[in-house]
Amino acid sequence: MVYLNQTAYSKKTYHFLPKILFGYPSCVTTALVYISSTQIKMNETWKRFKRDKVALFGGTVIVIVVTAALLAPWVTPYDPHEQFFDGLTLEGAPLPPNKRFPLGTDLLGRDLYTRLVYGARTSLIIGIAANAAAVLVGTLLGIIAGYLGGWVGNAIMRFTDLMMAFPALLLAIALASILTPSLWIVAMVIALVNWVQTARVIYTQTLSIAEQEFIQAARALGATPIRILWVHILPHLIPHITVWATLGISVTVLFEATLSFLGIGVQPPTPSWGGIIFESQSYFLTAPWLVIFPGISILLFALGFNLVGDGLRDAMDPTQRGRN
Amino acid sequence: MFLFLARRLFQSVLILLGVSMITYGLLFLIPADPVRMIAGRSATAETVASIRAQLGLDQPVPIQYLRYLGSLLQGDLGRSYVQKAEVSELIVSRLPATLQLMFAAIFFQLLIGLPAGIIASVRRNRKSDRILMILSFIGVSAPQFVVGLLLLYFFAYVLGIFPLGGYGTIAHIVLPALTLGITIAGWYSRMIRSSMVNVLRKDYIRTARAKGVRETRVVLVHALRNAILPIIAMIGIDIGLYMQGVVVVESVFGWPGIGQLAWLAIQRLDIPIIMGVTLVAAVGIVVGNLLADIVTSIVDPRVRRL
C-alpha cells in the first residue's frame, strides 16, 4: 500500500522527465521504480538525520536565515537603503546597537539589522545559483568522464587537473576584476572555479559503479549509454551529489563573502555581508559591530550548511560514520 | 622510481603550459584596448598602429602566445601598467614576506590541528570528540577576514599585545599567521583525526598495546608516525589554499607580500600583476603537488606503480 502511494506520488511529479528524454514509455516504469526506491531510502536517511542534534541545529540555522531572507520586507523595520539623519552621531560616526537600531547603524546611517537581512538574500541567491551551476557542470563532466573513459574522459580529467593547479580565488579575482562585477557575474565566476571538486568526486564514484555487474547486464540487454547513465548510474550518485551540493553552498557563501570583502563581489548599494565589512573595515576599531554582526552571519550560515552536509553524509552511509 | 618521477615531471610541465594558456586568455577578456591605454586619447592612427606593431599585437594570436611563453621562460612576466615596474621584480621582492607568513601559518595550523585531531581520534565518538569536531567546523566556516579583523581588534587594539599591522618583527607575524592557522586547522584537525582513526585500527597497534607499551607512546609514537605522513603530503597539495588565504590575510594586516600586491592590483585593474601572481601561485601549487607525490612515493612505494 505504502509502495503504491509512493508510486502514485512519483508519477505525478516526475512523469515528464523520462518522456522528454527518451520518448518511450517502458522507461517510465523503470524510472518510477528507481525513484520510489530512492524515496524509501530517503525516509531511512531522514530518520537517522533526525537523531543528529548537531545537524538539526545546522538545519534550524538555515531555515531561519532563508525565512528571514524571503520575508525580508516584513521582518525588518526599515528600508535597507534609507540613510537616517539620526542614524549617525553629531560627528558623523555610526551608532552602536541601541533601541531604535537593534544592531547599530553603518557608516551612512543605515540600519545594520535591515541590511544584514537583505544581505542574506544576496548570499542565498549566489550560494544557490553558483553552487547549482557548479554541481550541475561538475556532475555532468564527472559522469561523462567516468562512464565514457577513453580520450574524452582523459581530456576532461586532465582539464580538472589543470583547474586544480589554479588558485581558485586568484582566478576569480582576475575574472571578477576584468568583468564588471554584478550579482550574476559573481555567481558565474564562483561556479566557474568551484565545479572541479564535484567533477572529481562524481568521476571516481561513476568509475566504481560502472564496473559493477548490473551495468554490464544492462549493456548486454542493449541499453543505450544515455539510458545506462540516466537510469542505472545517476540514481546511485544522488547521495553524493546531495552531500556535495550542501557542503558546496557553504564554500560558495564564504567565497562570495571573500570576493565582496576584497571589493570585487556584489557592488554597493546592494547589501552583502562581505560588502558591509569591506565598506566599514577602516572604521572597525571604533565601530566593531560593523564587523562582528556580519561576520557572525557569514559564519553561522556557512556552518549551518557544513553541519547539515556532514549530517547527511553520515545519515546516508552510516558505515562511514566518524571516519571522515 | 625514476620513471615515476619523470612522468610526474612531464605532467607538471603540461599543466603549467595549460595554466599559461588560460592566464593568457584572460587578456582577451579585458574590454579596454591596451594600445589605446598606452597611446593615450589624442594619439593619431599612425602612432596607434606603430605601438601595436611594437608590442607585436598585429601578429596572429598563436604567435603572440608563443612570444608570451618565450618571455615567461626567461622570467619576464611583463610590465605593470600602473607601477611602471617589471612584474617579476615586484613579485620577487615580495615573495620572502609571503613565504614567512606561509611557514608561520603552517606552524600554527599544526600546533592547533595536531592536538585537536589526535585527541578527537583517541576519544572517538565521545563528547570531547564531538565538541572538537564542531569546533573544527566553526574554524572551517569562519571567513578569514573576519577572524583576522577580530583578532586584530581584541589582541592589538583592546589588549595591545601585538602591533596593529605591518611587517618586521616576530610580534608582527603572530596575528596574520594565527588567522590563517585557525581557519586551515579546521580542515586539518578533521584529516588528522580520520588518518589517526584508520591507523589506530591496524593490527600493529594492537600488537604494541598487547606488548604493554604505554598508551601515550602507542598513540604519539607508533600511530602518529604513520598517520602524519598523508598530512604532510596534504600540506604540499594545499599550497593553493594558503595562496588564497594569503591574499585575504595580507590585505587585512597590511603584510607586504604577493597577496597584498595582488589586492592592490585588483583595485587599480593592473592585469599584468594579477596574471603574474596567478602564474607564480600556480607554479607553487604544481611544485607543492609534485613534492607531495615524491614524499608519498618514498614512504609508500605502491604509489609509484600508478
DSSP secondary structure string, B61-85?
Answer: HHHHHHHHHHHHHTT---B-TTT-S
pLDDT per position as a tens digit, A188-242 = 888 888 888 888 888 888 888 888 888 888 888 888 888 888 888 888 888 888 8
pLDDT of residue B92: 87
Mean pLDDT in residue range A285-289: 82
pLDDT of residue B295: 79
Res. A294: pLDDT tops 50: yes
CB B251 within 8 A of CB B260: yes
What length does chain B have?
306
The share of chain A scoring above pLDDT 90, in percent, equals 6
pLDDT of residue A324: 43
Alpha-carbon distance A50 to A59, whole Å? 10
Res. A46: pLDDT tops 80: no
* Grid cell for residue B52: 601595436
Q: Which chain A residue has its CA at the smallest distance from B156's CA?
A: A285
- Rounded to a whole number of angstroms, the distance from the CA of B44 to the nearest CA of chain A is 27
Beta carbon pairs, A and B, within 8 Å: 146
Mean pLDDT estimate for chain A: 79
Write the DSSP symbol of residue A321.
T
pLDDT of residue A20: 47
Q: Would the CB atoms of A285 and B157 count as touching at under 8 Å?
A: yes
* Grid cell for residue A310: 556532514
pLDDT of residue B13: 87
The tally of CA atoms less than 13 A away on the side-chain side of residue B50 is 6
CB A243 within 8 A of CB A198: no
Other Cβ atoms less than 10 A from the Cβ of B278: the count is: 23
Other Cβ atoms less than 10 A from the Cβ of B220: the count is: 13
Worst-scoring range by mean pLDDT, A25-29, A216-220, B171-175? A25-29
pLDDT of residue A133: 92
Worst-scoring range by mean pLDDT, A182-191, B90-99, B156-165? B156-165
The string of DSSP letters for A185-216 reads HHHHHHHHHHHHHHHHHHHHHHHHHHTSHHHH
Res. B305: pLDDT tops 60: no
Of the candidates B13, B229, B19, the residue with the CA atom closest to the CA atom of residue B5: B13
* Grid cell for residue B174: 603572530
Q: How buried is residue A18: exposed, middle or buried, by Cβ count under 10 Å (0-12/13-18/19+)? A: buried
Write the DSSP symbol of residue A231.
I
Mean pLDDT estimate for chain B: 82
Mean pLDDT in residue range B264-286: 83
pTM as predicted: 0.83
Q: Contacts of residue A323 in chain B, CB cutoff 8 Å?
A: 194, 197-198
* Grid cell for residue B218: 602507542
Q: Would the CB atoms of B266 and A257 count as touching at under 8 Å?
A: no
Alpha-carbon distance A174 to B272, whole Å? 10
Worst-scoring range by mean pLDDT, A13-22, A60-69, B184-193, B223-232? A13-22
Q: Which chain B residue has its CA at the smallest distance from A167's CA?
A: B240
Alpha-carbon distance B113 to B45, whole Å? 62
Q: Would the CB atoms of B149 and A284 count as touching at under 8 Å?
A: yes
List the single residue in A165, A178, A298 with the smallest CB-CB distance to B282.
A165
Res. A8: pLDDT tops 50: no
CB A120 within 8 A of CB A65: yes
The share of chain A scoring above pLDDT 70, in percent, equals 84
**Nearest 10 degrees: CA dihedral of A56, A57, A59, A60?**
120
Q: Cα-atom radius of gyration of chain A, to the nearest Å? A: 23
The share of chain B scoring above pLDDT 90, in percent, equals 1
Alpha-carbon distance A60 to A124, whole Å? 15
Q: Would the CB atoms of B243 and A303 count as touching at under 8 Å?
A: no
Of the candidates A287, A304, A302, the residue with the CA atom closest to the CA atom of residue A257: A302
Q: What is the separation of C-alpha B114 from the centre of its chain, rounded to a whole number of angstroms? A: 20
- Rounded to a whole number of angstroms, the distance from the CA of A166 to the nearest CA of chain B is 5
Complex confidence, ipTM: 0.84
pLDDT tier at A17, thresholds 50, 70, 90: very low
Higher pLDDT, A18 or A156: A156
The tally of CA atoms less than 13 A away on the side-chain side of residue A114 is 20
Res. B232: pLDDT tops 60: yes
pLDDT of residue A247: 87
**Nearest 10 degrees: CA dihedral of B54, B58, B62, B65?**
30
Alpha-carbon distance A231 to A27, whole Å? 8
Res. A275: pLDDT tops 60: yes
Interface of B with A in 147-176 (CB under 8 A): 149-150, 153, 157
Q: Is the bond into A269 cis (omega within 30 degrees of 0)?
A: yes
What values do phi and psi take at A271, rounded to 5? -75, 130
Alpha-carbon distance A4 to A26, whole Å? 18
Mean pLDDT in residue range A56-71: 88
Worst-scoring range by mean pLDDT, A148-157, A270-279, A309-318, B129-138? A309-318
* Grid cell for residue B194: 580520520
Res. B41: pLDDT tops 70: no
Q: Contacts of residue B198 in chain A, CB cutoff 8 Å?
A: 323
Res. A4: pLDDT tops 50: no
What is residue A286's three-state secondary structure?
A: coil
List the single residue in B153, B243, B277 with the smallest CB-CB distance to A288.
B153
List the single residue in B143, B244, B274 with the smallest CB-CB distance to A177.
B274
Of the candidates B19, B100, B48, the residue with the CA atom closest to the CA atom of residue B277: B19
Q: Mutate which of A61, A157, A166 to test chain B, going by most B C-beta atoms within 10 A?
A: A166
pLDDT of residue A18: 46
Alpha-carbon distance B248 to B229, whole Å? 29
Res. A171: pLDDT tops 50: yes
